Structure 1
């Protein structure tokens, strides 16, 4: 288990390993047994939770809520201006994505159009008459009648 994963466990579930998910708990126990830094972080989390548990509960008043909501207004972040390299990379990505779409559409159009120009393979004399008979049968009759005629043959 990495230090980042262990810190994530502490942040999400606290210092009590009983609240950690079982598979992660086993990995954390193994990591705690071998890594002194993780043991120090775990002990610091236990001390912090004990200190916070001893504080009296208070309900936030409207002044505290207003001051918390005003933090972004009091300390705005400046807009990040993209570098020339980033602008070129983004432009290249858009251009290549558009070119890929155009190329795919052109290729599909070529294949479909070329398929219309190629003559179908020639059939033997017996196959040709069978196809013509079937076409005449289907052209002169309804689908149900054609199926009845085929089944009768």
Structure 2
């Protein structure tokens, strides 16, 4: 077996001979007996598998720690978070109202200061715009 084929075999089946297919065990043992580099590769693969198994092993839960965490959750003050959210919402609503008021004042002020476009007959187009935008004739108000 070549070094490359041996490394591929280790990648597929791991370093534990119990996980190797029966028909491949004898050629692998022959390769290991003849090649010191194959022996080192097998040792490195075994060490890697042991390290990965130690990392992936679930840690036991400490019941006292879980109890402290859960009791801390019950003792927390959720209304504080709600107050912060409501405070933010109120500030946002107030800012929105002020923005709307400012736009309305600027719109009215600019509408009074800037002359409107001339209509098709040379007169102001204000009533025509009011009819198109607002849906009624301002002359009907007086």
TM-score, normalised relative to structure 1: 0.36
